Amino acid sequence: MAVYIESGLRLDLPNGQHFRFADLPPYKSVSGLQLKEMDFAWVSIGKLFLQEVRSCSQVTTTLTATDFVPTKGQPIPYRFQTLIDKVTDSTLILLAAWAGSAWGQQLKAALPLTAQARMLLKLVIAIDLPSALSIHFQGLRDSLNARLQGRVALADVPRVVLIDYARPISDPAFCGFVTAHP
């Protein structure tokens, strides 16, 4: 198992079944070109999970709903746009590997064998919102999916799953992979 500690979570990912785009040489060759990647990827139960982990616990006193949830007629919040970019770019990166473009072939060769063939994709964002902002969780989820619906549909993904930190610790899809880190 490879162990990662990030944003208050511990991920124990199975050897040969996981990767981080940021660690792959083909991704490093394009990472300075305005691409963003999701934090972790692993194969489990016949699906490739891509997960972004985002903790907001360090900035709880300054965050408001407008930092996350877009409001009609207002600029898109930076934190919201960052999540959109990460999901969009990560999906495109995988599609390039599975489609066999020149760069995609390089990336495909760097992926674990279990992730080299096209498979069902599960896009997950685990977010730790301050309790005062938890009332906006559903609005954030709905706004993310409304913005990403067409983009992820191109990869046969019906929706992005937005979860709070408690879920990956208790959900069977993540069981054994994700735990809380003090």
pLDDT tens for each residue of 17-72: 899 999 999 999 998 899 999 999 999 889 999 999 887 766 656 666 677 778 88
Q: How confident is residue 156, by pLDDT bands cut at 50, 70 and 90?
A: very high
What pLDDT, on a 0 to 100 scale, did the predictor assign at position 59? 60
Q: Would you state the pLDDT for residue 62?
A: 66
Q: What is the pLDDT of residue 99?
A: 96
| CA distances, 143 to each of 27, 69, 127 (Å) | 28, 7, 15
pLDDT in tens, 115-131: 999 999 999 999 887 77
pLDDT reported for residue 101: 95
Contact 91, 157 (CB under 8 A): yes
Q: What angle do CA 59, 63, 67 make, to 5 degrees?
A: 125
Is 137 or 103 the better-scoring residue by pLDDT? Answer: 103
Residue range 76-91: mean pLDDT, rounded: 93
Q: State the CB neighbour count (10 A cutoff) for residue 169.
A: 17
Tokens 């390089």, located at residue:
106
Is the confidence at residue 182, as pLDDT, over 70?
Answer: no
Distances (CA, A) of 73 to 26, 68, 76, 170: 39, 15, 9, 38
108-111 CB contacts, 8 Å cutoff, 24+ apart = 109/26, 110/19, 110/24, 110/25, 110/26, 110/27, 111/19, 111/24
**Can you tell me which residue has the tokens 């944003």?**
7
